Amino acid sequence: MPEKLDFSIIEDQAAEFSETDLTLRNTESSEETLHRVLSGYEIGHKLRALRLRKKIALVDLGRHTGLSASMLSQLENGKLVPTLPTLARIAMVFDVGLDHFFGARRGRKTFAVVRAGERIRFPDRADSPSPAYFFECLAFAAQGKGLQAYLAEFPQHKPEDVQEHVHEGVEFLFVLEGSLGIRFEGEEHVLKHGDSVYFDATEPHGYRGLARAPARALVVTLPPRA
């Protein structure tokens, strides 16, 4: 059986799930999801700032890239999502790397809002017939995060079904509702509504819901201290 995913890397791996593997909180097409996620990078704003700094008109940029001025204008205004080949072509004209469009804006403090309806609910493993937990990334819109935050739901499971895993750093969990069993160092600890736990995530640990109604918790993971 494949190694169980853990909360520290799950945000990076979420994109690998196909649409059939996802349970969406709201109906959203692939194009809408892509547009929403990429909008956080402000690619259009960066493209426009780069073009104006180089003093290149839309028509001239169109001649260099083979794209119409109308399309470039829509890209700058955020009305179109650029494909990777299109963005690569533009980057070559300006002699910048693709990372120029995906890095954080300089001189701007991080502030990223994630609306409830924007989150997507993932199982811990796409191929699992009985997931150990489901999770929603609470801060996916923020870049360069110092922590990862999730809303997790834990269905009821038997003790023998718990699969332990490890990851770097520490983990904090706050139970929002229900009863949750957490196995740590071979011992199961029962947490109920309002309880919380902070632990070294390099030690094998696992979770399971204890009642018919799934337990729900806020989970925060932090990388090791430098």
CATH number at residue 80: 1.10.260.40
The structure tokens listed for 33 are 């999801």
Q: Give the full edge-to-edge strand order of the sheet including 120-123.
A: 23-24, 120-123, 134-137, 148-154, 215-222, 170-177, 196-200
Within a 10 A sphere around the Cβ of 36, how many other Cβ atoms?
15
Question: Which residue range forms the structural domain that includes residue 211?
Answer: 10-25+112-222
CATH number of the domain residue 206 falls in: 2.60.120.10
Per-residue pLDDT of the chain (226 residues; tens, 9 = 90+): 334 445 554 555 444 444 434 444 455 677 777 777 777 788 898 999 989 988 889 998 888 888 999 999 999 998 888 888 889 889 888 888 888 888 765 556 788 888 898 888 999 887 788 999 999 999 987 877 889 999 999 999 999 999 899 999 999 999 999 999 999 999 999 999 999 999 999 999 999 999 999 999 999 999 987 6
Half-sphere exposure of 191 (CA within 13 A, CB side): 26
Q: Of 83, 102, 121, which marks where a domain is finished? A: 102
Whether 80 is covered by a domain: the verdict is yes
* Count: domains in the chain: 2
Whether 169 is covered by a domain: the verdict is yes
Q: Tell me, what amino acid is at 131?
A: P
Q: What is the pTM of this model?
A: 0.63
Whether 4 is covered by a domain: the verdict is no
Do strands 170-177 and 215-222 pair parallel, antiparallel, or not at all (unpaired)? Answer: antiparallel
Whether 35 is covered by a domain: the verdict is no
